[in-house]
């Protein structure tokens, strides 16, 4: 009984809903008249309390009563099962709602959807399926009984419960006869069905036995033996008293097939005889026999061989045969698939043993020869290829042209000749230079080649070529000669030789040379170019052209005094200037200085001696090797009577010092300094006057 309390505190003080009696998990069986779920809640003000129901999240609108506190489901079905939830809400209020839920389970008793027939008959050793399948909620469990005893597939491995509940019995035995019961159970109930299984047996019967047969040695044969019976008959094959094949015995080459037939593979001559098929089971035995004849197989034991002969010699193609003595063998020869009529070809002979002789072979004999033997003991065929070799033909259409990619080279091309039916080993290339006799240029050109570039040739010369091919028979004929090809002139590719130079005067140098080697002149020489310049200075070359190839000397004049020159010579022809020789260097001869020493100072140091100081002339004006200085002193008017002192050059000090002694005391002198080289003296410095000291008393 639900008690409803009066509101206390007025509408201004709402109390959030609470569920006093929530729904409870409920289980029913289909067929029940109805099921009710209850949800009792409280709140303030109670008049605004609202209860709603949902099934699996979907709002429920039917079956509600007592202010939605009760949900009644009439004649519940499996589809009514689910999660039912009630929610209590206080309308027009912000207080939170509350909900509670429970599961409704609707069970369905088992019902069979597949049942076995009331009586099943099956043969021994067969497999039988006894159907049994049921539905219900929850899914029923299938349990099998035989003769009121439960079947345990673990302990009885021939019994297996299949997916869905059917029972499979493998390899039926007489003890499998009996009553089989199938129970379907779940929490809503149980149903059962049954059938009677009868296992039968039949005496063996050979329905298709072996027949007398003939086989060729080495071939396979099947002796048939098809049977019926239950349990399935065991098959044993015997030849006389010897067991060849059974369920437990199998000799090599003898195979008991699944059908009961016997496969002999391969057959031997010794296999001839009477064969018996015996079929047996628990009900009895049946047997059948047949004879097997084995012929020796006709075989080519000495087949024709691939061979290669030289043109005009003899070829022998063998075809030796082994066969059963009772059969007749016939030999037939074919060439490239066409039969050979040996009697119509005088060059050919066929021996009794099948050997084919071919004399005076030529290219028309080339081909594949097949020996075919036919007999009732079998047919056989073997083939061999005959190749007739000869000298290769000459290379065809040789063409020689100047190479576009390389200098001093000629491109030679030809068409591959007939190889004489023997692979080419190489080509030999001969050359004639400037109409000289033929000479081998290349003796081992690769046989795959049809072109070669001949390089390293000499400009301004003409060349002609011819080739021949070589195979294992020998060297074939030479091709026709190519057109003669002339190489254009090129500038000389080597400098003049033995270039020497020597200074002749202080303004001239003589240079001499010899022509470049003849093989590098690359044409007719027209002359020489001599170029020269100051050594080590960034100045341009000066050039001299000698327009006669016979002139091999040149005197270079108007050169700078005492200067080192670098000189080179190159020859030229109609194609241009060749390579300059290595530089040779040479000096013009020395000259005399062209300026006097500088900063000359003189002073008398006593009554007979004068001290000189000076600086060296600029080296570029000495014009040779500085050999030293001359200090000069002379009395006025007596220039021819000069006192002179020679001083070696001092290259360490910038200011040079020297003395002239033996002068007259207290006498006036003019003084001067000059620099000299090997050729002579340079100019004197401007005279300076002075007087030697008096003797001191």
Output the pTM of the full model.
0.43
Burial of 15 (0-12, 13-18, 19+ CB in 10 A): middle
9 domain residue, yes or no: no
675 domain residue, yes or no: yes
> Token digits for 107?
């069970």
Nearest residue to 525 (alpha-carbon basis) of 493, 568, 572, 569: 572
How do 234-239 and 273-281 pair as beta strands? Answer: antiparallel
On whether the CB atoms of residues 126 and 170 are closer than 8 A, the answer is: no
Name residue 389's beta-bridge partners. Answer: 310
At residue 111, the pLDDT reads 92
The model's pLDDT over 404-417, given as tens digits with 9 standing for 90+, comes to 999 889 999 999 99
In whole angstroms, what is the distance from residue 161 CA to residue 169 CA?
9
Nearest residue to 333 (alpha-carbon basis) of 323, 343, 325: 343
660 domain residue, yes or no: yes
10 domain residue, yes or no: no
> Token digits for 550?
């016979």
On whether the CB atoms of residues 112 and 132 are closer than 8 A, the answer is: yes
| Banded model confidence at residue 12, pLDDT cuts 50, 70, 90 | low
Q: Give the domain extent around 573.
A: 497-587
The gap from C-alpha 255 to its chain's centroid, in whole angstroms, comes to: 49
399 or 154: which carries more pLDDT confidence?
A: 399
In this predicted structure, the answer to whether residue 8 has a pLDDT above a threshold of 50 is no
At residue 9, the pLDDT reads 40
Domain count for the chain, please give it.
7
At residue 254, the pLDDT reads 93
Nearest residue to 3 (alpha-carbon basis) of 20, 17, 22, 24: 20
At residue 54, the pLDDT reads 94
209 domain residue, yes or no: yes
On whether the CB atoms of residues 310 and 339 are closer than 8 A, the answer is: no
Whether residues 196 and 206 fall in one domain: no
- Does residue 79 sit in helix, strand or coil? helix
In whole angstroms, what is the distance from residue 408 CA to residue 410 CA?
7
CB atoms near residue 137 (< 10 Å): 19
Averaged pLDDT of the chain: 92
* Region label for 501, one of left (φ > 0), alpha (ψ between -120 and 50) or beta (otherwise): beta
> Token digits for 230?
């239950």
Whether residues 361 and 303 fall in one domain: yes
Whether residues 206 and 195 fall in one domain: no
Whether residues 637 and 554 fall in one domain: no
| Banded model confidence at residue 625, pLDDT cuts 50, 70, 90 | very high
Whether residues 192 and 206 fall in one domain: no
> Token digits for 9?
């505190």
Burial of 569 (0-12, 13-18, 19+ CB in 10 A): buried
Whether residues 42 and 120 fall in one domain: no
On whether the CB atoms of residues 299 and 378 are closer than 8 A, the answer is: yes
Whether residues 505 and 464 fall in one domain: no
The model's pLDDT over 34-78, given as tens digits with 9 standing for 90+, comes to 999 999 999 989 888 999 999 999 999 898 999 899 999 998 998
- Cα→Cα distances 426→409, 651, 654, Å: 22, 77, 82
3 domain residue, yes or no: no
In whole angstroms, what is the distance from residue 531 CA to residue 134 CA?
121
Q: Annotate 627-673 with three-state secondary structure.
A: CEEEEEEECCCCCCCEEEEEECCCCCCCEEEEEECCCCCCCEEEEEE
In whole angstroms, what is the distance from residue 508 CA to residue 587 CA?
9
Whether residues 274 and 303 fall in one domain: no
Which of 72, 107, 142 is at the close of a domain?
A: 107
> Token digits for 677?
């080289």
Which of 278, 295, 312 is at the close of a domain?
A: 295
> Token digits for 302?
């000495």
Whether residues 81 and 158 fall in one domain: no
At residue 6, the pLDDT reads 37
Q: What is the mean pLDDT of residues 531-549?
A: 95
Place of tokens 């044969």: 221
In whole angstroms, what is the distance from residue 677 CA to residue 329 CA?
123
Whether residues 238 and 248 fall in one domain: yes
Burial of 126 (0-12, 13-18, 19+ CB in 10 A): middle
696 domain residue, yes or no: no
CATH of the domain at 631: 2.60.40.10
In whole angstroms, what is the distance from residue 189 CA to residue 31 CA?
13
The model's pLDDT over 434-478, given as tens digits with 9 standing for 90+, comes to 999 999 999 999 999 999 999 989 999 999 999 999 999 999 999
44 domain residue, yes or no: yes
Whether residues 545 and 611 fall in one domain: no
Whether residues 55 and 138 fall in one domain: no
In this predicted structure, the answer to whether residue 305 has a pLDDT above a threshold of 60 is yes
Which of 587, 611, 627 is at the close of a domain?
A: 587
């Amino acid at each position: 009984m639900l008690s409803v309390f009066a509101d206390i505190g007025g509408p201004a003080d709402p109390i959030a809903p609470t569920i006093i009696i929530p729904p409870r998990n409920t289980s029913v069986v289909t067929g029940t008249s109805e099921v009710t779920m209850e949800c009792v809640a409280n709140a303030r003000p109670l008049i605004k309390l609202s209860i709603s129901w949902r099934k699996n999240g979907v709002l429920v609108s039917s079956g509600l009563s007592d202010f939605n506190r009760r949900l009644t489901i009439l004649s519940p079905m499996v589809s009514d099962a689910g999660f039912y939830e009630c929610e209590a809400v206080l309308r027009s209020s912000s207080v939170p709602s509350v909900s509670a839920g429970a599961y409704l389970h609707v069970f369905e008793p088992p019902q069979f959807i597949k049942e076995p027939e009331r009586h099943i008959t099956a043969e021994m050793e067969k497999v039988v399926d006894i159907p049994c399948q049921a539905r219900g909620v929850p899914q029923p469990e299938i349990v099998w009984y035989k003769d009121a005893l439960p079947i345990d597939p673990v302990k009885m491995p021939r019994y297996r419960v299949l997916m869905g509940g059917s029972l499979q019995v493998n390899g039926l035995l007489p003890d499998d006869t009996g009553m089989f019961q199938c129970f379907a159970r779940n929490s809503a109930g149980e149903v059962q069905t049954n059938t009677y299984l009868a296992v039968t047996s039949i005496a063996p019967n050979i329905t298709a036995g072996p027949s007398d047969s003939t086989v060729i040695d080495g071939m396979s044969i099947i002796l048939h033996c098809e049977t019926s019976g239950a349990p399935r008959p065991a098959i044993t094959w015997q030849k006389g008293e010897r067991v060849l094949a059974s369920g437990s015995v199998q000799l090599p080459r003898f195979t008991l097939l699944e059908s009961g037939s016997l496969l002999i593979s391969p057959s031997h001559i010794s296999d001839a005889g009477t064969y018996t098929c015996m079929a047996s089971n628990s009900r009895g035995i049946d047997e059948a026999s047949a004879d097997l004849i084995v012929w020796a197989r006709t075989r080519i034991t000495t087949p024709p061989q691939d061979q290669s002969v030289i043109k005009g010699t003899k070829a022998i193609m063998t075809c030796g045969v082994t066969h059963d003595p009772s059969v007749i063998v016939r030999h037939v020869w074919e060439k490239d698939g066409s039969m050979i009529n040996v009697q119509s070809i005088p060059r050919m002979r066929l021996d009794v043993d099948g050997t084919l002789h071919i004399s005076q072979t030529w290219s028309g004999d080339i081909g594949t020869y097949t020996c075919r033997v036919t007999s009732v003991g079998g047919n056989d065929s073997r083939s061999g290829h005959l190749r007739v070799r000869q000298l290769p033909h000459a290379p065809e259409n040789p063409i020689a042209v100047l190479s576009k990619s390389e200098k001093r080279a000629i491109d030679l091309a030809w068409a591959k000749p007939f190889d004489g039916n023997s692979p080419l080993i190489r080509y030999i290339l001969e050359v004639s230079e400037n109409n000289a006799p033929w000479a081998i240029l290349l003796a081992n050109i690769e046989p795959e080649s049809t072109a070669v570039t001949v390089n390293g040739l000499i400009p301004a010369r003409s060349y002609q070529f011819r080739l021949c091919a070589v195979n294992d028979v020998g060297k074939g004929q030479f091709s026709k000669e190519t057109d003669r090809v002339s190489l254009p002139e090129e500038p000389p590719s080597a400098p003049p030789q033995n270039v020497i130079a020597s200074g002749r005067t202080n303004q001239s140098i003589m240079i001499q040379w010899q022509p470049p080697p003849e093989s590098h002149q690359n044409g007719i020489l027209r002359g020489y170019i001599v170029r020269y310049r100051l050594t080590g200075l960034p100045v341009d070359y000066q050039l001299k052209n000698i327009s006669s190839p016979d002139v091999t000397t040149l005197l270079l004049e108007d050169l700078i005094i005492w200067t080192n020159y670098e000189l080179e010579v190159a020859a030229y022809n109609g194609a241009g200037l060749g390579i300059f020789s290595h530089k040779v260097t040479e000096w013009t001869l020395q000259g005399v200085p062209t300026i006097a020493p500088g900063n000359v100072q003189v002073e008398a140091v006593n009554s007979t001696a004068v001290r000189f100081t000076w600086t060296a002339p600029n080296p570029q004006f000495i014009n040779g090797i500085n050999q030293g200085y001359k200090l000069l002193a002379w009395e006025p008017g007596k220039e021819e009577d000069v006192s002179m002192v020679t001083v070696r050059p001092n290259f360490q000090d910038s200011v040079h010092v020297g003395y002239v002694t033996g002068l007259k005391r207290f006498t006036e002198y003019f003084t001067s300094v000059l620099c000299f080289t090997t050729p002579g003296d340079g100019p004197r410095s401007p005279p300076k006057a002075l007087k030697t000291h008096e003797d001191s008393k």
